[in-house]
């Protein structure tokens, strides 16, 4: 589907709209595009398949276990540690089967990854952060029209607590720096606020991240940030729109930085050269 081209009420400083826009934009896609547009292209446009990174696989399986726990709390079902651990193990195996090989390197590394997952989940369930009351909602997928964005904004929230606080869970190898965490995840957190405000007309009391850290002694750390004011919201909408415009304009180029150390497309990146308009016409 091609969305209607509209003028944004601010300038991103980039070129005018291309003719075809993506159907929607998610904070995850926008952050990936803004981090390195060429890596975004290889992963999400060219869909070049690579072995799944271990951290991504572990994060997804932990996420599935937390979802099972929160859903059980919501429905009044079985939320015992054994059932949650079984949900983790099932997801761990299902993801290996359904999403292709994981880049473990060895069977020992696979088993260590599995045990790490079970340990961080047990630490969460034991922590004061483990959901006690019935949540407002679990795994909420919202798509809303947001002023200033030329395509709908979509986002999947892990959990909405009883007081409407959206919570996003992160698996992490190291303890997060609390002063940077909310800033690092600004696009995602503020997008959730925008979605909730558009969907239910409520501003959440805070925007929360819960980190499940797989240090030697696993830790569960909550980072709470204030809801965004008008300036922060406008800034995030402008970042989202910059990603939409770049994707719609086929603007994909290397953006060397820290992300190169875990990028799986170094060879493809080295082969990249810009295509000039004359070459495009001649092709
Ligand atoms: S190697 Fe670096 S610049 Fe190249 S695509 Fe990967 S992340 Fe981008």
CATH number at residue 180: 3.90.320.10
Residue 270 Cα: closest atom of ligand 1: 4
**Domain final residue, candidates 104, 126, 148:** 126
Q: Does residue 243 lie within any of the structural domains?
A: no
Between the alpha carbon of residue 195 and those of residues 119, 142, 185, the distances in Å are 33, 7, 16
Q: What is the DSSP string of 106-156?
A: SHHHHHHHHHHHHHHHHHHHHSTTS--SPPSEEEEEEEE--TT-SS-EEEE
Measure the CA–CA gap between 12 and 122, rounded to whole angstroms.
Answer: 45
- The residues pairing with 155 across neighbouring beta strands, listed in sequence order, are 142
Taking CB atoms within 8 Å and a gap of at least 24, the contacts of 83-87 are: 84/121, 84/125, 85/118, 85/121, 85/122
Q: Are residues 216 and 143 in the same domain?
A: yes
75 Cα to the center of ligand 1, angstroms: 44
Structure confidence at residue 3 (pLDDT)? 34
76 Cα to the center of ligand 1, angstroms: 46
Between the alpha carbon of residue 58 and those of residues 3, 103, 251, the distances in Å are 36, 11, 32
Domains in the chain, number: 2
**In a mutational test of the pocket of ligand 1, which residue from 263, 266, 267, 270 has the highest number of ligand atoms less than 8 Å from its CB?**
263
Q: Are residues 168 and 85 in the same domain?
A: no
Q: Are residues 198 and 180 in the same domain?
A: yes
Measure the CA–CA gap between 171 and 184, rounded to whole angstroms.
Answer: 15
Between the alpha carbon of residue 182 and those of residues 80, 88, 113, 129, 196, the distances in Å are 31, 27, 27, 17, 18
210 Cα to the center of ligand 1, angstroms: 29
Low-confidence ranges of the chain (pLDDT < 70): 1-21, 276-283
Q: Are residues 153 and 220 in the same domain?
A: yes
Q: Are residues 214 and 193 in the same domain?
A: yes
Residue 256 Cα: closest atom of ligand 1: 3
Q: Are residues 101 and 148 in the same domain?
A: no
**In a mutational test of the pocket of ligand 1, which residue from 35, 39, 253 has the highest number of ligand atoms less than 8 Å from its CB?**
39
Structure confidence at residue 45 (pLDDT)? 86
Residue 36 Cα: closest atom of ligand 1: 8
Q: Are residues 225 and 151 in the same domain?
A: yes
Closest residue (by CA) to atom 5 of ligand 1? 39
Residue 263 Cα: closest atom of ligand 1: 6
239 Cα to the center of ligand 1, angstroms: 20
36 Cα to the center of ligand 1, angstroms: 6
Q: Kind of pairing, strands 166-172 and 207-213?
A: parallel
Ligand 1 pocket, residues with Cβ under 6 angstroms: 36, 38-39, 254-256, 259-260, 263, 265-266, 269
- The boundaries of the domain holding residue 150 are 135-237
Structure confidence at residue 38 (pLDDT)? 93
The secondary structure element, H or E, covering residue 166 is strand 166-172
Residues 184, 34 contacting (CB under 8 angstroms): no
Structure confidence at residue 65 (pLDDT)? 97
């Amino acid at each position: 589907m091609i969305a209607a081209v509209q003028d944004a009420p601010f300038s991103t400083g980039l070129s005018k709209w291309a003719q075809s826009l993506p159907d929607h934009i998610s904070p995850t896609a926008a952050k990936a595009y803004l981090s390195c547009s060429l890596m975004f292209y290889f992963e999400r446009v060219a869909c070049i398949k690579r072995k799944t990174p271990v951290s991504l696989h572990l994060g997804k399986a932990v996420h599935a276990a937390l979802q099972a726990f929160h859903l059980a709390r919501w429905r009044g079902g079985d939320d015992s540690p054994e059932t949650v651990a079984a949900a983790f193990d099932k997801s761990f195996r299902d993801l290996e089967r359904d999403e292709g090989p994981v880049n473990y390197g060895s069977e020992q590394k696979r088993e260590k990854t599995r045990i790490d997952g079970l340990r961080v989940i047990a630490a969460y369930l034991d922590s004061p952060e483990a959901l006690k009351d019935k949540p407002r909602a679990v795994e909420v997928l919202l798509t809303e029209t947001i002023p200033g964005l030329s395509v709908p904004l979509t986002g999947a929230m892990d959990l909405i607590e009883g007081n409407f606080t959206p919570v996003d869970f992160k698996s992490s190898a190291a303890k997060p720096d609390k002063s940077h965490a909310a800033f690092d995840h600004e696009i995602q957190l503020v997008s959730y606020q925008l979605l909730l405000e558009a969907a239910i007309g409520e501003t959440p009391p805070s925007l929360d991240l819960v980190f499940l850290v797989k240090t030697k002694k696993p830790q569960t750390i909550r980072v709470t940030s204030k809801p965004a004011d008008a300036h922060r919201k406008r800034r995030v909408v402008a970042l989202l729109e910059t990603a939409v415009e770049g994707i719609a304009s086929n603007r994909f180029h290397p953006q060397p930085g820290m992300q190169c150390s875990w990028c799986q497309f170094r060879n493809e990146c080295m082969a990249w050269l810009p295509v000039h308009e004359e070459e495009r016409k001649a092709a």
